[in-house]
Structure 1
Amino acid sequence: MVIEWLTFAVAPEHRETFIRVDHEIWTAALSQYPGFISKEVWISPDLSDQVIAVIRWHTRDQWKAIPQADLEQIDQRFQATLGAPYRLIDAREYQVRRYPSP
């Protein structure tokens, strides 16, 4: 399993709208692609200007197989619907490693 970890800077007054629109557009779109497992959105009471998205994929190849044109189209819909500024401040990738118990 691969984790896509995205951290966004969002004005506190737009955070709930960002989360709702993200679910309606990004989560709905990504869930249609092979390899998508789940997505969670994390917020911290101490960092009201940040939103973290944690997306789980079966494999990196499946995640990276999403056409760039599709991602751009989804992002354009998201930006137009959100109507508020935000920026991606961190993007990371993790592999989930599990070892058998002794």
Structure 2
Amino acid sequence: MALGATVLPQGPVVEHLRVKVPADARRAWLQAEEASWGPWLRRQDGFLGRDLLWDAEREEGLLLIRWRSRRQWLAIPASEIETVQGRFEAAARRALAHDPEARGPAGAANPFPLVHAGELEWLALTPPVEEEGR
């Protein structure tokens, strides 16, 4: 291996994304995610699961998407991702327009713009602690 060469993870990897989600638009964001990315991800080879979290201080959604391998994740064609992203944005605009409490930008191309994207090498999983008496 050449000096300074990067070793890419061979095992599981976690894609992490941060998107801008105003507090009053969380329900619309979750609806749009489940209407678009949720079903599509479940059909992808190597998809292990996804966690949707919300940071109240930053008003951002955090998505942790687990993949069996980096190779399987990166094998997805960019054109397919763009198609699903278009469905997500359309679903988000519809959800915002139907939610009287949401004041998010319902007319924006992407009401929940990407703030950051990255990947993490998955080293270990700690199982949940079992409660006594169960």
TM-score (norm 2): 0.68
Q: Provide the C-alpha distance between the structure 1 equivalents of 2:57 and 2:82, rounded to a whole number of angstroms.
A: 31
> What secondary structure, in the 3-state scheme, does the structure 1 residue paired with 2:14 have?
strand
Could you tell me the percent identity over the aligned residues? 28
Q: 1:40 offset after TM fit, Å?
A: 0.6
Mapping for residues 1-102 of structure 1, pairs under 5 Å? 1-47=12-58, 49-83=59-93, 84=106, 85-98=111-124
For the pair shown, the structure with the greater C-alpha radius of gyration is 2
| SS of residue paired to 1:43 | strand
Which amino acid in structure 1 is aligned with residue 42 of structure 2? S
Question: Normalising by the residue count of structure 1, what TM-score does the alignment of the two structures yield?
Answer: 0.87
Q: What is the CA distance between 1:44 and its match in structure 2?
A: 3.0
CA RMSD of the aligned region, Å? 1.3
Query: 1 or 2, which has the higher helix percentage?
Result: 1
SS of 1:7 mapped into structure 2: strand
Matched residues, number: 97
Say which SS state the counterpart of residue 36 (structure 2) adopts. Answer: helix
Off by >2 Å, runs of 4+ in structure 1: 44-47
Q: Which has the higher contact order (CA 8 A, sep 6+)?
A: 1
- The Cα shift of 1:12 comes to 1.9
Structure (1/2) with the larger strand percentage: 1
Structure 1 residue ranges without an equivalent (≥5): none
